[in-house]
Homo-oligomer: A and B are copies of this chain.
């Protein structure tokens, strides 16, 4: 059986690495002919919304999925007419719009920051007056890795923020002075079976994920996050892996955003959980039983951003697993990651500090 994947970045590549042992073949669609997944499976080079390219992908695939959340929903509609396609387009549509996403969370009883839709400078001033400073102005669509957002701390921040972002639909969100950032990743299969990974803690730098520590011991918040995840999965009759990023503030969870795909904060599961998020995404869309999502030890994941660290230094540390995505270095680009796995949290924390020293050089 061949799986067609829209997007051929590192997520697609890790899906293929997980799926080849399951006896699956892979085909990719990506506008970039050097995309990382093309190194291990046939790649259709074309725009995500080019009907001819989508048809070529569908011709040689039995089942379609995507690894990139900015795939045009219309493209998914086109290809879904040719082959079964998961996750559902409606989840993609909602996740592409911060306003729809917040409204969804609200309907499902999942707390969010206070927010207002903003389409003019006047609306921005009114929204700031209602929500209060500090707050965050974001584009509703096509924002990721910290792009398309500005923190507003004083009234004089409004005009430059409006000049930078205005002209497209915006959302203003209350600034959450969080204690930490966490995420929950889980899968739902075509049979309705749901499995969730433990809650993990994340740190970002310049809006880009830097580290994930797993599992994060959030006490009762762990079960609460799973309840939130289940509500979202069921709402969409979802199939595949989905991630929700949340803030922790005063022992509360506040949803920030969701991603209808395998997620960077789930990379630790390759070596740190009984079954990886990549394998579980494939099991889910194939209707296979989902794999055990328990953590098998104490893990930490560190992203390589902009440049690759020296490989030998990292591999000399015990329990370090190296992932090079085969991409050309570029500032702000995710080029790889490593995961450390240890038998105790203290050992993991010590290893993580050593890894960070090597990666930060």
Show the binding face of A for B, using Cβ within 8 Å.
13, 16-17, 20-23, 25, 39-41, 274, 283, 288-289, 291-292, 296-297, 308, 311-312, 315-316, 318-319, 321-324, 326, 336, 341
Contact = CB atoms under 8 A, between A and B. Distances in A.
A308 B318 CA distance: 36
Contact of A326 (B23, B291, B315, B324): B23
A291 B322 CA distance: 11
Given A17-B20, A274-B319, 15 more contacts: A13-B20, A16-B40, A17-B17, A20-B40, A20-B326, A22-B311, A22-B324, A23-B308, A23-B311, A23-B326, A274-B318, A274-B341, A289-B312, A289-B316, A292-B319
B21 A322 contact: yes
The 7 A-B residue pairs with the shortest CB-CB distance, nearest first, are: A23-B324, A289-B316, A40-B40, A21-B323, A292-B318, A289-B315, A288-B315
Contacts of A291: 315, 318
A28 B21 CA distance: 18
Contacts of A323: 21
Contact of A311 (B40, B288, B312): B288
Contacts of A20: 13, 17, 39-40, 326
Contacts of A274: 318-319, 341
A39 B316 CA distance: 31
Residue with the greatest number of chain B CB neighbours at <10 A, chosen from A21, A291, A297, A322: A21
A296 B297 CA distance: 9
Contacts of A326: 20, 23
Contacts of A315: 283, 288-289, 291
Contacts of A283: 315
A22 B288 CA distance: 29
Contacts of A25: 39
A123 to B, nearest CB: 47
9 contacts: A13-B20, A17-B20, A20-B326, A21-B324, A23-B308, A274-B319, A288-B315, A289-B315, A296-B296
